[in-house]
Structure formats: structure tokens, C-alpha cells
Amino acid sequence: METGEAGHSAHDMTVDVLARRAGMTVRNVRAHAARGLLPPPRLHGRTGYYGTEHLARLELITQLQEQGFALAAIERLVASTPRQSAEEALAQYLHMLAPWAPEPALELAETELPGWLGVDVSGETWRALVAAGLVVHLEGGRIRVPNPGLIRAGAEAVRLGMPAADLVVMREELTTHVGAVTARFVDLFRRTVWADYVGDGLPADRAQQVRDVVGALQPVAAQALLATFRESMPAAISLFLEEVSDAFEQGGPRDAAAAADSDR
């Protein structure tokens, strides 16, 4: 191994260098180390030196966080995994998440958002989007759109005549209900495929099979959700038409409009 004048590897880094290469602050690196997310550094005198394995670990942690993993979950995973296989386990989780990776966040000038969406954005809509975390203000008059696909769907609904503020509220309901459905799918995977995989000792020759199952869950879950939605929507529309028709027969267009408004 190549060594420097101080007797440590030429590839070793101080915590400052490690933080810079990982795109983090020294404080963040130290916090990760304190949580046990990083192996101890090699000490030379009173100085700790970090190697490429520490940088790789930080990069994996960053990627997992970007995919929605909480630090507490990463911490539990590392704590329950032997040191020599922690990277492999983290990488396995990252590969499992790959098919579900959301569309990359979009960054643009604030003034460009209405043109990108193709609809006007009122002050009230701006406030609702920011409050919901759908748009994040950055420095220099720029914004970040964490989920561009969701915003585009909302803009299409606005073009159909639906109020943006109501759509933001509906998004919260969708998040709640879809979150419950996804939790059930994940729990089913955990109790079956994943439990068998762990029970067999995480064999390397089955790692790709497990990743394939997770990837295949996406179209299966999406198809199930869409099929259920298609089954439920006609019934909801039928009920709406019955209520409006009854109101129209009883009192004319004004009562029909009132009946429609009462459902909001």
C-alpha cells in the first residue's frame, strides 16, 4: 500500500477532506460517525484518517436519503449488519429502490413556473404550493419542484376547470390513502420474499432475484390501483348523477347546482 510521509495511506483523508469530497459539512460527517454509520477512522497520533471506504459509505447514505430513507432506518440497517457487508447491504437497498425512483426534482426560475406548467399561478396558489412543500423557494429568485410529475398532473386538472387550492388539499388525501396501500404492499413483501431471503442468510446468488421482485411490484401495484380506481369511479359518478338529477327534477337548475356544491 502506498504511504505518505506521515506513515498513512496516500489515499487517506482528514475529516475536512472527506467532508469536502462527500459534499457534506464536517459537522454532518461527525454526526454520521456518532450514529455509528461510519466505521472508526484510522488513528495516527491524535489525527483520524478516513479512506475510500468511508467516502463510499457516505455516498451510499446520501443516495439512500435522496430516495427517501430516514437516517434512523439506515442506522438500524448498518447496526444489524456485519461491518464487512454493510456496504453490500446498503447497496442492495439502493438497488431495490431504483425501480421506484421518482422523477428528478426540477430547479428553475420562479418566473418560469407558469410557462412550464402552461397555467397561470395566482398568489393564493403560490402560497398553497409552498405550504404543501410542492414548491420550495431557493436563493436568487429560483425554485425547486421536488415532484414535477405531480405538479404537471395538477396543472392539467386546473386546465380542466378544477381550483388549484382544492387540488392541493386532495393531494394530502391521496398521500394518506396511497401511503396506506404502499405500506400494505411493502409489508406483504417483507413477510414473504424478504423474510425468506433473510432466513436463508442473504445469499448473494439470490440478490438479483429479490431486486427483480421489488421492481416487478411497481407495475403490479400500479395496475391494481388503476383497476380499483376504474371500478370505483363509475359508482361515484353514478351516485353524483342521481343526486343532481333528483335535485333538478325537484327544483330546477338552481337546486341542481346547489346539490353539486354540497358535495364539495
pLDDT digits (tens, 9 = 90+) for 100-132: 666 788 899 999 999 998 888 888 888 888 888
Rounded Cα distance, 187 and 136, in Å: 32
The yes-or-no verdict on residue 244 having pLDDT over 70 is no
Q: Which domains does the chain have, with CATH numbers?
A: 15-100 (1.10.1660.10)
Which of the two residues, 14 and 190, has the higher pLDDT score?
A: 14
pLDDT of residue 251: 58
The yes-or-no verdict on residue 19 having pLDDT over 70 is yes
The yes-or-no verdict on residue 50 having pLDDT over 90 is yes
The yes-or-no verdict on residue 187 having pLDDT over 90 is no
Position 2 confidence tier, pLDDT thresholds 50, 70, 90: very low
The HSE-up count of residue 41 (CA atoms within 13 Å, CB side) is 24
Rounded Cα distance, 64 and 136, in Å: 21
Residue percentage of the chain with pLDDT more than 90: 14
Q: pTM, whole model, 2 decimals?
A: 0.54
pLDDT of residue 246: 65
pLDDT of residue 256: 46
Position 87 confidence tier, pLDDT thresholds 50, 70, 90: low
Q: Are 74 and 64 in contact (CB under 8 A)?
A: yes
- Give the chain's end-to-end CA distance (angstroms, integer): 70
Which of the two residues, 128 and 263, has the higher pLDDT score?
A: 128
Between the alpha carbon of residue 176 and those of residues 77, 151, 162, 229, the distances in Å are: 26, 17, 21, 16
Over residues 21-49, the mean pLDDT reads 89
Over residues 68-81, the mean pLDDT reads 75
Record the cell numbers describing residue 262, joined without a space: 354540497
Over residues 4-12, the mean pLDDT reads 54
Q: What are 137-177's pLDDT values in tens digits?
A: 898 999 999 889 889 998 899 888 888 888 888 888 888 88
Position 211 confidence tier, pLDDT thresholds 50, 70, 90: confident
pLDDT of residue 143: 93
The yes-or-no verdict on residue 44 having pLDDT over 50 is yes
Q: Are 19 and 61 in contact (CB under 8 A)?
A: no
If we measure between CA atoms, which residue out of 76, 102, 87 comes closest to residue 218? Answer: 102
Residue type (1 letter), 219:
P
In DSSP terms, 43 is beta-bridged to 48
